[in-house]
Chain A
């Protein structure tokens, strides 16, 4: 499995609703908005990490590998900080 690591750059604005569920992330460069479901304390923890890998991402947002990869691609394109096999 790839051990690529990812991080969220500062060109993302995040909204964690006060009802504790989900997050909306706005990319100020691409002007895309991405929505995540799930308890937002977990999501907050994820996006506060300095780096995270795919299994951590997948675990914290509770989605399958395919969806996790798609979300990573949408959100974090070109944000790979280290690569390895």
Chain B
């Protein structure tokens, strides 16, 4: 099974049937069964022993013959596969700046939402993507080192805990995997946003703003412009490959913060954030 996630091609060598079924549900037409195309990553999810297939079953994620993570309960198989795919990209792509962030696009302008604690990044991604924005990524911003444009990824949104029922309530028609209980991130389910055909119409776009949202129960939705050095610091801290890229990353982030606005938003209502960003950045 070969999965085209846009910028990368994954070959899935082997995986339990439940994982394959969820991959088909999430990636649909992005999956082919070609056996000859060269893949960027050859991955698999396996039971390490016959014993662990039946007694307290566990699975291990492999990139080639290396396993970067400890085995985890088989009930978490699908999230483990998705996290493993994230790891492959974050740990090996040194040709682009990769920032732990969601990227949403409206009117051909991208807004990057770095994954700061309490940001509600994935809930925001799901809400925006199902309300007319284009989801370029829920997990990582892939930024071209020369053009500074952000490239789209074809991946589902990973929702956690209360966000799962919230999004199901807001968008009852949405397509979810089953919920994996008690993972290291709590309860986890993945949400399909676009068809592969829709995704194929997405192209690299310019970033207009770096937005740091913060969910606060009683907050009035308000933006606060932050200084560029604070924006730089937060972007560097959220970049997976800042240390590897070294001076290239330093120069890239410098150009990026000069070219964009950096804003903090306290919010308790995502539709207000949508309205605010749309008017602030004329989206």
Report A's interface with B, CB cutoff 8 A. 13, 15, 17-19, 21-24, 26, 28, 31, 33, 35-37
Q: Which residues of B contact A26 (CB under 8 A)?
A: 246-247, 250
Q: Which residues of A contact B232 (CB under 8 A)?
A: 15, 17, 24, 35
Q: Which residues of A contact B229 (CB under 8 A)?
A: 17, 21-24, 35-37
A-B contact pairs, 20 of them (CB 8 A): A15-B250, A15-B254, A17-B227, A17-B228, A17-B257, A18-B228, A18-B258, A19-B228, A21-B227, A21-B229, A22-B227, A22-B228, A23-B229, A24-B232, A24-B233, A31-B243, A33-B236, A35-B232, A35-B233, A36-B229
Q: Is the CB of A19 within 8 A of B247?
A: no
Docked CA distance A66–B175 (Å): 55
Docked CA distance A32–B204 (Å): 31
Docked CA distance A26–B236 (Å): 12
Docked CA distance A18–B255 (Å): 11
Q: Which residues of B contact A15 (CB under 8 A)?
A: 232, 250, 254
Q: Using an 8 Å CB-CB cutoff, how does the interface string of B240-283 with A read, 1 for contact, 0 for none?
A: 00010011001100100110000000000000000000000000
Q: Which residues of A contact B254 (CB under 8 A)?
A: 15, 24
The dominant DSSP class at the A interface is strand
Q: Is the CB of B227 within 8 A of A13?
A: no
Report the nearest B residue to A35, measured CB to CB.
Answer: B233
Report B's interface with A, CB cutoff 8 A. 227-230, 232-233, 236, 243, 246-247, 250-251, 254, 257-258
Least distance between B9 CB and chain A CB atoms (Å): 31
- The A/B interface has a contact count, at CB < 8 Å, of 44
Least distance between A6 CB and chain B CB atoms (Å): 22
Q: Which residues of A contact B246 (CB under 8 A)?
A: 26, 28, 31
Q: Which residues of A contact B243 (CB under 8 A)?
A: 31
Report the nearest A residue to B225, measured CB to CB.
Answer: A19
Least distance between B258 CB and chain A CB atoms (Å): 6
Known: A15-B250, A17-B258, A35-B233. 13 other contacts (CB 8 A): A13-B247, A15-B232, A17-B232, A19-B228, A21-B228, A22-B229, A24-B229, A24-B250, A26-B246, A26-B250, A33-B250, A35-B229, A37-B229
Q: Which residues of B contact A31 (CB under 8 A)?
A: 243, 246-247
Most buried by A among B227, B229, B247, B258: B229
Q: Which residues of B contact A33 (CB under 8 A)?
A: 236, 250
Least distance between A27 CB and chain B CB atoms (Å): 10
Q: Which residues of A contact B250 (CB under 8 A)?
A: 13, 15, 24, 26, 33
Q: Which residues of A contact B258 (CB under 8 A)?
A: 17-18
Least distance between A56 CB and chain B CB atoms (Å): 21
Docked CA distance A37–B243 (Å): 22
Q: Which residues of A contact B228 (CB under 8 A)?
A: 17-19, 21-22
Least distance between A3 CB and chain B CB atoms (Å): 30
Least distance between A30 CB and chain B CB atoms (Å): 10
